A = this chain, B = another copy of it.
Amino acid sequence: MSQARQDVVGIGNAIVDVIAHAEDRFLAAQSMAKGAMTLIEAERAEALYARMGPGVEMSGGSAANSMAGLASLGGRAAFIGKVRDDQLGAIFAHDIRAAGVTFRTPPAKAGPQTARCLIFVTPDAQRTMNTYLGASVELGPEDVEEELIAAAQVTYLEGYLWDKPRAKEAFRKAARIAHEAGAKVALTLSDPFCVERHRAEFQELVKGPVDILFANDAEIRALWQVGDFDAALAATKGQVGTAALTRSEKGSVVLAGERIDRVPAEPVERVVDTTGAGDLYAAGFLYGLTNGRPPAEAARIGAIAAAEVVSHVGARPERPLKALVAERLG
């Protein structure tokens, strides 16, 4: 099969988000770790949903959000992830294709339902996520399309994949194919608790096959088990080709070989929902990188994309990012 060249292929959990507003005391009463992503089983998902306020459903998934963002920026993106052949799966597949992303992983015909993430947005715009992985755990190496990976400049993997053994195999296979094709491998650490669960292996990945690393402040500190950002920055230096480290309103720091760039956050009139901020930063950064922009400019594009997504509910862009970036970068 001939293959149109891709900028980036993302591999991750294919999830539909269920978003509702909640008060901090609700999070406390439900023993949720505020700001984190917690994996939950079907039974807990049912119980939590029963207590949740009226919701909005929108396609999500970390790497999937990044690929939707990349397409909105004008990049050529593909996504690999597993849904079930159910209504939520049809919604996920529709939305990512409608965003302009190549998506052809066949849905599972049996087994658990399409993954969903119950997201509680508190009045401070912070999001707290509870993910029922459902069908997305069925993702395995057989879903990693060799030609798709080989035709991309970057294969982008979410750390969340490490939570399930077959997804991990898929991850390793994709990284191997990418490198054999002379392409780069990017990883996002996803979540500080995810880093806690897989620290040793993530350290090996960062020192080994990973060419481009994404992490926020809490994640990079968890990776190296250090208390402050500067120590984490120092620990990262020399371990990976490129690292883009995000610090919310403090902007981001990009390490590329010996070079360090500090890029401010983009101003946001009102932060409504932080869901997807990291995903969209990664989208912008990868778009810049795969389109020949220097790291600081790539980080700036990431900041612009992240600023758009935190200004409304939901983890995918509402405005066409290509036009927004053209306007902001001038």
Contact = CB atoms under 8 A, between A and B. Distances in A.
Interface of A: 20-21, 49-50, 52-59, 68, 86-88, 91, 94-96, 98-99, 113, 314, 316, 318
Nearest to A116: B87
B58 A95 contact: no
Given A86-B87, A87-B86, A87-B113, A56 B57 contact: yes
A265 B155 CA distance: 53
B316 A54 contact: yes
Copies in the complex: 2
A20 B316 CA distance: 13
Contacts of A20: 98
A91 B55 contact: yes
A77 B311 CA distance: 33
Given A54-B59, A88-B87, A94 B316 contact: no
A19 to B, nearest CB: 9
Contact of A94 (B50, B94, B99): B50
Contacts of A58: 56-57
Nearest to A99: B54
Nearest to A55: B95
Contact of A314 (B52, B53, B56, B87): B56
Contacts of A96: 54
A107 B244 CA distance: 49
Nearest to A318: B21
A91 B316 contact: no
A230 to B, nearest CB: 39
A56 B94 CA distance: 11
A219 to B, nearest CB: 28
| Residue among A21, A94, A99 with max Cβ neighbours from chain B (10 Å) | A94
Nearest to A88: B87
Contact of A98 (B52, B98, B99): B52
Nearest to A314: B56
8 contacts: A53-B98, A54-B94, A54-B98, A56-B57, A57-B57, A57-B91, A87-B87, A87-B113
A275 B164 CA distance: 42
A49 B94 contact: yes
Nearest to A84: B87
Contacts of A113: 87
A48 to B, nearest CB: 11
A56 B55 contact: no
Contact of A54 (B21, B54, B86, B95): B95
A316 B56 CA distance: 11
Which 5 pairs across A and B sit closest by C-beta, in order of nearness?
Answer: A57-B57, A87-B87, A54-B95, A54-B98, A53-B98
Nearest to A56: B58
Nearest to A312: B313
A329 B53 CA distance: 26
A91 B54 CA distance: 9
A118 to B, nearest CB: 11
